């Protein structure tokens, strides 16, 4: 996987940014109002080669890839460039394809556009399809099946580029809103510190970041010829039109009454985004188109994407590990284990867990010095998705892994020798003891005490939601060791054996059909060797622990099972022989879920890739975690409604799973930090808004 732009792509983006900052922008839009087209800007963009960016060099173009053109269009959108640049680029490519050289060469003087609904000034030539003929006005440019396919490909290219324009404009509108929210004060505080302002902006920043990644994924998929390559452009058009319109509404609302004033630039962004997003008609129609392409055999012609430079694949090592896991399950996964499989800890089977340990499939990401295989994050992602194919839960593995990594990083040699071999083999498990009844997501408000007594510590307190404690041998615990220090200090991390006297475990059963626990600690005495890190240095250890948990993949993976169950239902004939998936409206509903699943996927992949390659920001993981869990909830609710009442009645195993996944999804927005916590991080780190007070 690689999401780094090439040197050429970076140069294209930077050149386009300088050009549109100098030649476009809100002041230029106002100067030509009410027109939406600047002939001067069109000529300048043509002369600079922007409109011929996709034209072969033999015909005077730059012969750049589709991603290069998308980067250009995003910069045009940021500055509301009053020219239909995406139409012009797609039209120029089409003219070159069908050999209409005269029109191509004269585009600086006579704009040529794709489609009959975009402004291009007086005298613009509109390309359109009439039966199997491509017409420029009344003149026939090409005819036949190949002409139809060339026009189809150009239309899809235009849609991708328009999506990029909307992303640029939407992101810029959020920047305007964030700047205002930092400066505008109310009740003695910047309004950006109010969650009612910050959290909707954080949602939209995440939505548009997901849109950009899905755009890149669509271009890569076209270049690679993946199975979903034809559907992704339609999915992207729906999502981008919807999310950009939502973003600019939120941005305008941030300005309050001033946002309604035409003097404020955000009003121009509202009008331009509305126009670009809806000029092709209701975006919801794209979901039906996506459904047709995914499940009804519709295969439109796709543009030549060129070499995108980026790569969304997991890579050969990840694919090899996934194949190895699948082979293990095929050999060892008995009918009894299939019946026992469960998304929570109730599905844990000690014998099978130890078999996985013996096969090296519990923790292949561990460093080789501790018995692992040094597998990377993408390899573990691929492994986890195979586990989910068989519905074999990895919660005990995931929470054990956090205790293991903290022991590797902060434990003494003696503790590592005692703990790690047992965890690696599957003989032992660990769990997490962070949350307390009074603190919730504010882990640093912990009241559980650890008092020094010679070479030992005496622990007293209570932990909530210690999932897996009834199975585990150790709990990774945050305890207060110096109550005189401030809240975030005076904390220490321990790996506490749960077999010690004074530990009590009380089950808590949840609406997700999962068991968690309350754990009580009454004068539990542990030797100092179970301490991780420095005394009162728990903040450093917790930061390392949260860097493991604050990503989307561990939560996002369950969404695949929800989608799989929905498709199983849709492909199953009813008593009259009809299949739900044969209905176009049903396919559109399923396409909506497939789109949101794809968006969560690219955010989660990016978070994993960025973490592995030292490119993670403070908001990369929170965006993936927040989006993937919230969208899981939305899809769970939507699919339960789509399949009601039979989903509520658990009429089939697939329908039962849909309903169960809806309940499971709600918990995912709470575990690992609530969505509100992550929105706060995104608002501060991605948008630069002040911390909520």
Rounded distance, CA 304 to CA 168, Å? 23
Residue ranges of the chain whose pLDDT lies below 70: 116-121, 440-441, 546-552
Q: Are strands 474-480 and 430-433 parallel, antiparallel or unpaired?
A: parallel
Provide the CA 591 distance to its chain's centre, in angstroms: 17
- Which residues lie across from 527 on neighbouring strands? 456
Please answer whether residues 159 and 233 qualify as being in contact, where contact means their C-beta atoms are separated by less than 8 angstroms.
yes
Q: For residue range 145-182, what is the model confidence (pLDDT) as tens digits?
A: 999 999 999 999 999 999 999 999 999 999 999 999 99
Task: Report helix, strand or coil for 479.
Answer: strand
DSSP for 539-553, written as a single string? HHHHHHHHHHHSSSH
Enter the tokens of residue 651: 């009429």
Rounded distance, CA 464 to CA 518, Å? 5
Rounded distance, CA 133 to CA 96, Å? 16
Report the candidate in 218, 122, 206, 224 with the shortest Cα–Cα distance to residue 167: 206
In this predicted structure, what is the pLDDT of residue 117? 57
Rounded distance, CA 240 to CA 246, Å? 10
Name the H helices within 279-412: 285-295, 316-332, 335-340, 350-358, 377-389, 395-410
Cα dihedral 479, 483, 488, 492 sign: negative
Question: Burial code of 607-637, b = ≥16 C-beta within 10 A, e = fewer?
Answer: bbbbbeeeebeebbbbbbbbbbbbbbbebbe
Enter the tokens of residue 24: 């476009």
Enter the tokens of residue 473: 């041998």
Give every CB contact of residue 104 below 8 A, 6+ residues apart in sequence: 52, 55, 59, 60, 92, 95, 96, 112
In this predicted structure, what is the pLDDT of residue 550? 52
Question: Burial code of 42-79, b = ≥16 C-beta within 10 A, e = fewer?
Answer: bbbbbeeebbbbbbeeebebbbbbbbbbbbbbbbbbbb
Q: For residue range 637-688, what is the model confidence (pLDDT) as tens digits?
A: 999 999 999 999 999 999 999 999 999 999 999 888 899 999 999 999 999 9
In this predicted structure, what is the pLDDT of residue 116? 58
In this predicted structure, what is the pLDDT of residue 118? 58
Cα dihedral 341, 347, 352, 353 sign: positive
DSSP for 317-334, written as a single string? HHHHHHHHHHHHHHHH--
Q: Are strands 112-114 and 125-130 parallel, antiparallel or unpaired?
A: parallel
In this predicted structure, what is the pLDDT of residue 633? 97
């Amino acid at each position: 996987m690689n999401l780094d732009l090439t040197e050429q792509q970076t140069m294209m983006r930077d050149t386009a940014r300088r050009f549109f900052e100098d030649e476009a922008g809100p002041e230029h839009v106002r100067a030509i109002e009410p027109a939406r087209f600047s002939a001067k800007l069109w000529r300048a963009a043509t002369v600079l080669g922007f409109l011929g960016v996709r034209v072969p060099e033999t015909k005077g173009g730059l012969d750049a890839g589709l991603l290069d053109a998308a980067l250009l269009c995003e910069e045009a959108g940021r500055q509301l460039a009053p020219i239909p640049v995406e139409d012009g680029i797609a039209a120029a490519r089409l003219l070159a394809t069908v050999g209409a050289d005269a029109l191509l060469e004269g585009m600086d003087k006579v704009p040529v556009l794709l489609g009959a609904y975009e402004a291009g000034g007086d005298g613009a030539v509109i390309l359109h399809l009439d039966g199997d003929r491509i017409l420029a006005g009344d003149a026939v440019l090409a005819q036949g099946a190949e002409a139809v396919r060339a026009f189809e490909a150009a239309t899809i290219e235009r849609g991708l580029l328009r999506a990029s324009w909307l992303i640029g404009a939407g992101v810029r509108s959020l920047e305007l809103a964030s700047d205002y929210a930092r400066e505008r004060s109310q009740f003695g505080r910047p309004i950006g510190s109010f969650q009612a302002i910050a959290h909707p902006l954080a949602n939209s920043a995440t939505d548009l970041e997901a849109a950009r990644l899905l755009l890149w994924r669509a271009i890569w998929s076209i270049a690679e010829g993946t199975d979903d390559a034809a559907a992704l452009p339609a999915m992207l058009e729906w999502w981008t039109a919807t999310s950009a319109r939502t973003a600019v509404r939120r941005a305008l609302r941030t300005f309050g009454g001033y946002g309604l004033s035409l003097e404020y630039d955000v009003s121009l962004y509202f009008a331009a985004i509305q126009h670009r997003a809806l000029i092709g008609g209701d975006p919801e129609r794209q979901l039906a188109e996506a459904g047709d392409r995914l499940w009804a055999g519709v295969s439109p012609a796709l543009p030549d994407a060129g070499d995108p430079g980026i790569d969304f694949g997991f890579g050969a090592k990840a694919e090899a590990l996934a194949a190895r896991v699948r082979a293990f399950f095929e050999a060892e996964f008995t009918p009894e284990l299939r019946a026992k499989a469960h998304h929570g800890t109730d599905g844990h089977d000690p014998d099978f867990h130890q078999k996985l340990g013996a096969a090296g499939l519990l923790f292949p990401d561990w460093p080789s010095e501790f018995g692992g295989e040094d597998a990377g994050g993408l390899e573990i992602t691929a492994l986890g998705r195979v586990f989910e194919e068989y519905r074999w839960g990895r919660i005990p593995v995931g929470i054990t892994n956090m205790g293991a990594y903290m022991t590797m990083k902060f434990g003494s040699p003696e503790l590592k020798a005692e703990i790690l071999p047992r965890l690696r083999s599957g003989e032992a498990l660990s769990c997490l003891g962070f949350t307390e009844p009074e603190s919730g997501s504010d882990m640093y408000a912990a009241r559980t005490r650890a008092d020094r007594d010679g070479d030992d510590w005496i622990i007293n307190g209570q932990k909530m939601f210690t999932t897996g404690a009834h199975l585990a041998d150790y709990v990774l615990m945050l305890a207060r060791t110096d109550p005189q220090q401030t809240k975030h200090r005076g904390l220490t991390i321990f790996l506490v054996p749960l077999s010690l006297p004074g530990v009590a475990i009380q089950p808590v059963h949840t609406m997700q059909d999962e068991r968690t626990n309350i754990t009580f600690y009454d004068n539990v005495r542990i030797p100092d060797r179970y301490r991780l890190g420095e005394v009162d240095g728990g903040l450093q250890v917790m930061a390392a622990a949260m860097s493991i948990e604050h990503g989307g993949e561990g939560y996002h993976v369950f969404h695949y099972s929800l989608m799989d169950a929905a498709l199983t239902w849709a492909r199953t004939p009813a008593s009259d022989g009809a299949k739900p998936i044969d209905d176009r409206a049903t396919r559109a509903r399923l396409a909506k879920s497939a789109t949101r699943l794809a968006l969560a996927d690219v955010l989660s992949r990016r978070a994993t890739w960025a973490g592995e390659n030292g490119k993670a920001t403070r908001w990369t993981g929170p965006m993936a975690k927040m989006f993937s869990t919230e969208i899981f909830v939305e899809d769970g609710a939507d699919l339960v409604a789509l399949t009601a009442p039979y989903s509520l009645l658990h009429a089939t195993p697939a329908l039962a799973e849909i309903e169960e996944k809806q309940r499971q999804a709600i918990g995912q927005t709470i575990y690992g930090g609530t969505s509100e916590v992550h929105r706060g991080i995104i608002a501060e780190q991605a948008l630069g808004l002040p911390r909520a007070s």
